[in-house]
Amino acid sequence: MIYLPLIVTLAALFFTYRILSRTWRYLRLAHIPGPLPAKITTLWLTYHQSTGSLARHLSSLSKRYGPIYRIAPNWVITSDPAAIRQLWSARGPWYRGQWYDMFRMDQPVSTVLSERDNHKHAALKAKLLPGYSGKDVENLHEAVDRRVADLVQLIERKYLSDDERGVYRPMDLAEKATFMTQDVISELAIGRCFECLVHDRDTYGQMTGVTGSLPLVITLATIPWTLGLLQNPLVRALLPKEKLEGVVRQQELAKKQVAERFGEDKVVRRDMLGSFVKHGLGHTNAWLETFVQIGAGSDTTATAIRMTMFHLMSSPGSYKRLQDEIDAAIREGRVSSPIAEEEARRLPYLQAVMKEGLRLSSPVMGLLPRICDTEQTVCGVRIPPGTNVCWDAISIFRNQETFGADADVFRPERWLVEMEDVEKKSMKFVQGLVFGTSGRFECLGKGIAMLELNKVFVEVSGP
């Protein structure tokens, strides 16, 4: 009984501390509006993230609360494009929040996706840029041409329907788009194509790995300290093995390929991995960056392809106009087979379709929080140090002041109409946020992704 008063005192102190700390967390952002549950607990944000409805839920809240509002005790979100320019500025004081630790997990060093220090991120990006830009990659355009041809051949071989015979062969375009982007990035990254399209299956378990692990990880990222649990061997042992099999297989493949590029009998190739090594990336960093690029590089581009095709197939008038433009270009000899990127860039409606598809269905819908160590002002609102400031992607890309009253509608023609220079510049800037801002936070894979998009829509949508 002698310890009972001490235990009671310690318990009282603990609960007093918890109450005071939560009260302080609530009050430090009390001047920013938002749902009441979100002001009190992070569980509100975690719940909506876990259901997969967060992005659209935030879009509706933006209409209610305005350009900046609270989504957790220490998190706010903005739908103002000008604020995003401020947060993602190459010379600004903002840096990545703890949310990005989800891309690191149990990796021994940070990658270009998980590195939070701005200076280290810039140094790492400089070593990767020549490979991602294609300057050090041999036969870049030819490699993409081969994989697009594989996609067309697969469709013709297995999935063409015959109306006269009443034979209908449904095809999962979302799956095939992922197969194509996996084949592209694997050949460019390590000089070895996965051949998903040839075998019509997920040969290395990439899709299984992404769909099995990413929803869990991105949910836990809203409570950053829980990411450490996934590094615990006991916790990892409890996770479904089949959902992690693809991740493990790709890690082992990346390690094996990188091991061949170091040592006395090292293999030298003009692929992206070869470029990384050439520009000073060490063994551990090389295999991690290779693993990351295969996952991130294939899934995001595949999302852009399948969602743009979805919008096209849901808009018969737009689909017909694109086909007419392609037919006319072929008839007049303005495009070759397969189409060259510079030829695709000269097809105005194709470019409008791509911009509109990326705008309406951005491949990256994560929160992407930024933090600053000093007090800042965002959207005219005081932001205390250490606050996570995120972006509301859907509201930004469907902003009616920027894109018109029909901003929710797939209408490529909006990119072709005559408009004031200021208005056109505003549209281009906001749509360009799909790949981040130029400089520090611009997507490294933008060039390769646009190359794939310029080619695949012509070959799939054409005659």
Q: Mean pLDDT throughout 209-223?
A: 82
Least confident of 7-16, 36-45, 188-197: 7-16
Partnered with residue 70 across adjacent β-strands are 76
Sequence-ordered alpha helix ranges (H) in 29-165: 36-40, 43-51, 54-65, 81-87, 118-133, 140-158
Which one-letter DSSP state was computed for residue 339?
P
pLDDT over threshold 70, residue 127: yes
Q: What is the pLDDT of residue 112?
A: 92
Sequence-ordered alpha helix ranges (H) in 233-364: 233-238, 241-259, 272-278, 283-313, 316-331, 341-345, 348-360
Please state, in angstroms and as integers, the Cα–Cα distance from residue 224 to each residue in 218, 220, 227, 256, 362, following that order.
10, 6, 6, 31, 24
Q: What is the pLDDT of residue 105?
A: 67
Q: What is the pLDDT of residue 320?
A: 96
Query: 109-122 burial string, b = 16+ CB within 10 Å, else e?
Result: ebbbbbbbebeebe
Please, which pLDDT band fits residue 240 given cuts at 50, 70 and 90? low
Q: What is the pLDDT of residue 79?
A: 95
Which three-class secondary structure state does DSSP give residue 346?
coil
Please, which pLDDT band fits residue 224 given cuts at 50, 70 and 90? confident
Q: What is the pLDDT of residue 344?
A: 97
64-103 pLDDT tens trace:
999 999 999 999 999 999 999 899 987 889 999 999 988 8
367-403 pLDDT tens trace:
999 999 999 999 999 999 999 999 999 999 999 999 9
Partnered with residue 68 across adjacent β-strands are 78
pLDDT over threshold 90, residue 241: no
48-62 pLDDT tens trace:
999 988 988 998 999
Q: What is the pLDDT of residue 42?
A: 93
Per-residue tokens: 104? 């690191």
Torsion, CA 436, CA 440, CA 445, CA 451, rounded to 10:
70
**Residue 123, by phi and psi: left (phi above 0), alpha (psi -120 to 50) or beta?**
alpha
244-296 pLDDT tens trace:
677 778 788 888 888 999 988 888 889 999 999 999 999 899 989 988 888 77
Q: What is the pLDDT of residue 135?
A: 86
Please, which pLDDT band fits residue 430 given cuts at 50, 70 and 90? very high
Q: What is the pLDDT of residue 1?
A: 54
pLDDT over threshold 90, residue 419: no
Residues 198 and 196: their CA atoms lie apart, in Å, by 6
Average pLDDT over the chain reads 88
Q: What is the pLDDT of residue 440?
A: 65
> Phi and psi (nearest 5°) for 132?
-65, -30
Please, which pLDDT band fits residue 236 given cuts at 50, 70 and 90? low
Q: What is the pLDDT of residue 200?
A: 96
pLDDT over threshold 70, residue 17: no
